[in-house]
Chain A
Amino acid sequence: MQLNRRQFASTAGVALFAAGSSVPQNTTLTVTLAMDRIRQNIGVTWKESTIDGVKAGDGNASVSGVAVTAVATMDTLARAVREKTNLIVSLEPVYYSHNDGPAALNPQTAGGRGGGGGRGAGGIAPDDPVFLAKKDFIAKNGLAVIRLSDHWRARTPDPFALGLAQTMTWTKYRAGSDTRYDIPGITIAALADDLANKLNVRAGIRVVGDPQAQVSRIGVLPGVSALVASVKLLPECDVIVAGETREWESVEYAQDAVAAGQKKGLIMLGRVVSEEPGMNLCAGWLKTLLPEVSVRWFPSGDSYWRPA
């Protein structure tokens, strides 16, 4: 959704009014202050060791507006500049690696969850031209980037499962947990189309299972998930809607379930696409916390395309 200036101002005004008296209104909102409020209000104990925090920009800068996104790509940063929004809250790294910077202090651990996937030590080369150009763009435009991952993921209910269900209008079909929804019967093909349309997917969606199989019991695993999650969830549902799983793990497991005669499936959305609705919810939450400025969700979009 693109808001024009007037709608933008009115949305911000409503948020300001609705926030009540719990948050001081007359101080200038700086990046550091915004970070402090996030830390104090996140609702889970702040971890001593965390990747969350200010990853780029000046903590003393005053915030003109907040953009919340899954990945702070250049397209997202450029939109923020065009729309006079200088603080970006990003779920995923701004500088391409778990440690969000060029210097991997410990190459053994710098890879994070997907360690090894990039082959070799984690982190971008300090003289990498894309890294330097992005850093320069952030500095020249007075942007700041806050990473909010560990703690947003730790909240209950799981904002990513909830966000995905809301985007798909499945919340009324919730079946006992935030990861399970019993929806009216649909073919896997039609379900994949519905997901692609509602989540604005281009080529990122990949499906295992018979397109014509009728399914109704949905399990959701947004983000990255390991085999153990699929082995637990697939027996109690017809199809798993996942973000990213590995081809020799949950993908093969789903293939084998199908070959064993079960009417099952696995739909992979891509990690980033699957996490976007959870960051839309994050924008809604931040609105109540940062009433001085406008807070909006900037979808990062599906990175992938496919030739005809």
Chain B
Amino acid sequence: MTAREVLALMKQNLGSPWNESTYRDVFHAGNPDIEVKGIATTFMATLDLIQRAHAAGLNMVISHETTYWNDRDDTNGLTADAVYQFKTDYCLKNGMVVLRLHDHAHSHQPDFIMAGLVRALGWTASEGPGPRVYSFPKTTLGVMAADLKKRMGARAFRVVGDPKATVSMASVAMGYGMGRFSPGVDLIVGGEQPEADTALDLSSYVLDAAFFGMNKSQIILGHNISEEQGMEDAAIWLRTFVKEVPVQFVRSGEPYWSPGNG
């Protein structure tokens, strides 16, 4: 079975139409006609992840995020870069092929990425009154943040708000952008959020809300931490129709460490 044949099976088994105009969910490195020996699903096809997949005998990487450091995997202006050349050569020399699974990981019902995140947060049974809203018995931001940091295994975990603020209803965002507070929601948990000059500067908003005692809090998990879990769901799905080769979920892992916190 070739990598291209794996993609054809994914299209057949998605359960909804594959968007053929996607620029994301295509091959980004290596030769798609290569014989697949094993598949690694992951959050990001970092060079380190590709090296580990190779060592484990998994020569096809199915990655939620980019290979060449930008959403379009546009290699214009990168081809002379030493890191680009190293990564590209590594894939070709070692028979590694990288397919991105982004748009269709989200359009699958249920969304693999959201399902994985909610399970990791431990909130599967806490569905609240709206989409991606979760309710639980009242606690404080301090207690909630300590619990989630432990659960998610995040090192560079960041919190905004008063540790004593009440938390009882959270909305959950994945990846980039954390949305805004809908009525009743006192906590937003998400992946990655730009600061300051943006569509809505959530961190400054939460700081100001805390100043007025308005009980708003924000927990920033990191993009990887918020989306990696769901690629395990993608692996489980792939195993239902790829029987010939092993399919493993391999973590690319949180990219950061923080001073004083490992």
Interface residues of A (CB under 8 A from B): 51, 70-71, 73-75, 78, 92-93, 96-98, 110-124, 129-130, 133-134, 149, 189, 192-193, 196, 203-208, 211, 224, 227-228, 231, 235, 244, 246-253, 255-262, 268, 270-272, 303-308
Are B44 and A248 closer than 8 Å at their CB atoms? yes
Set of chain B residues within 8 Å of A308, measured between Cβ atoms: 146
What's the nearest-Cβ distance from chain A to residue B122, in Å? Answer: 16
What are 5 inter-chain pairs, A to B, with CB distance below 8 A? A120-B179, A207-B259, A235-B82, A255-B46, A305-B158
Contacts of A78 in B (CB 8 A): 211
**Cβ contacts under 8 Å, A258 to chain B:** 48
Question: Which residues on B sit within 8 Å (CB–CB) of A224?
Answer: 194-195, 197
Q: Please give the distance in Å from B202's CB to the nearest CB on chain A.
A: 7
Contact A98 to B261, CB < 8 A, known contacts A119-B177, A227-B70, A247-B192: no
* Interface SS majority for chain B: loop
- Whole-angstrom distance from the CB of A101 to the nearest CB of chain B? 12
A123 touches B214 (CB 8 A): no
Name the B residues within 8 Å of A211 (CB-CB).
257
Which of B157, B206, B255, B259 sits near A193, CB closer than 8 Å? B259
Q: Is A228 in contact with B77, judged by CB distance below 8 angstroms?
A: yes
| Among A70, A122, A249, contact of B200 (Cβ-Cβ < 8 Å) | A122
B83 engages A260 (CB within 8 Å) = yes
| Shortest Cβ gap from A239 to chain B (Å) | 14
Give the size category of B's interface with A. Answer: 35 or more
List chain A residues, Cβ under 8 A from B160.
303-305
**List of A residues within 8 angstroms of B214 by Cβ:** 129-130, 133
Bitwise, B66-105 to A at CB < 8 A (1) or not (0) is 1001110000011001110011000000000000000000
For the complex formed, measure the closest distance between the CB of B113 and the CB atoms of chain A, giving whole angstroms: 14
> Which single member of A92, A118, A130 contacts B199 (CB below 8 Å)?
A118
Which residues of chain A are within 8 angstroms of B195 by Cβ–Cβ distance? 114, 224, 244, 270-272, 303
Complex partner residue of A96 from B70, B145, B176, B201, CB under 8 angstroms: B201
CA distance A255 to B78 in the complex (A): 16
Chain A nearest CB, measured from B153 CB (Å) = 13
Q: Residues of B contacting A227 with CB < 8 Å?
A: 69-70
Q: Is B159 engaged at the interface, CB distance under 8 Å to the other chain?
A: yes
A25 vs B197: C-alpha distance when bound (angstroms): 35
In angstroms, Cα B198 to Cα A115, docked, is: 6
| Contact, CB under 8 Å: B258 / A114 | no
Cα-based distance from A55 to B201 in the complex (angstroms): 16
Does B42 belong to the interface (CB within 8 Å)? Answer: no
State whether A246 touches B176 (Cβ < 8 A).
Answer: yes
Nearest 9 Cβ contacts at the A-B interface: A118-B199, A114-B198, A118-B200, A114-B194, A74-B211, A259-B47, A247-B223, A111-B199, A122-B199
Would you give the shortest CB distance from B179 to chain A, in whole angstroms? Answer: 5
B259 touches A196 (CB 8 A): yes
Complex: A93 Cα to B197 Cα, angstroms: 6
Q: Find out whether the CB atom of A259 lies under 8 angstroms from the CB atom of B66.
A: no
